[in-house]
A and B are shown apart, each in its own frame.
Chain A
Amino acid sequence: NAGVTQTPKFRVLKTGQSMTLLCAQDMNHEYMYWYRQDPGMGLRLIHYSVGEGTTAKGEVPDGYNVSRLKKQNFLLGLESAAPSQTSVYFCATSGGAPFVRYNEQFFGPGTRLTVL
């Protein structure tokens, strides 16, 4: 029972390169989220999904795209990386089903991304 996993753990990109971050969960949760965390800024929501095949924008969606083709996976894509996207990225999941605490989010270990 791995919980929430993220791939990769670390990555260095050059400006303009693209990449995809993968979040996988085995908790059968409906909701999944991508956050970025910068020093002194707390967690800011990029995109989220309330179920397979659905996605929605969060607070800071520009420069990112997401897909949720399978319930257990949530992908975050950077089409043309910029230095401003240097950050630590966290994936999180929550229940979403009736009588399940949808607001208690479980976090993955994070991906540290540096864009040069």
Chain B
Amino acid sequence: EDKVVQSPLSLVVHEGDTVTLNCSYEVTNFRSLLWYKQEKKAPTFLFMLTSSGIEKKSGRLSSILDKKELSSILNITATQTGDSAIYLCAVDSIRGSTLGRLYFGRGTQLTVWP
């Protein structure tokens, strides 16, 4: 059975701190790993990673994939209260002819205090 595990499940920090969120996976026929941010409503897309060792960046957020270790990290530097959210990791894995099906982890609840 395919698995996506995120850690920690919850994290509380103060504004200005740097955080690292982890995602590990065990899936057959891995294609890509995606990170989503979920505030009060729908998840919104952050990054998609397909190649090992290539960092994706968007402002204070960055992410990298390690295919050898079957894992990814999401870094947030100089955190702000607006970064408070659930961060979801998902893996795209092909089973048979099915495309586009994502396997989600349970998420990391990040709380940033002022």
Contacts and interface: CB of A to CB of B under 8 A. Distances in A.
Interface of A: 31, 33, 35, 40-45, 48, 50, 56, 58, 90, 94-96, 101-110
B41 A109 contact: yes
Nearest to A91: B42
29 contacts: A31-B99, A31-B100, A35-B104, A40-B9, A42-B6, A42-B105, A42-B106, A43-B88, A44-B104, A45-B101, A48-B101, A50-B98, A50-B99, A56-B98, A58-B101, A90-B42, A95-B100, A96-B99, A101-B48, A102-B99, A103-B31, A103-B32, A103-B34, A103-B48, A103-B100, A103-B102, A105-B45, A105-B100, A107-B43
A44 to B, nearest CB: 7
A42 B98 contact: no
Contacts, number: 59
| Residue of B32, B48, B98, B106 with most partner-chain A CB within 10 A | B106
Nearest to A30: B100
Contacts of B42: 90, 107-110
A80 B41 CA distance: 26
Interface string B1-36: 000001001000000000000000000000110100
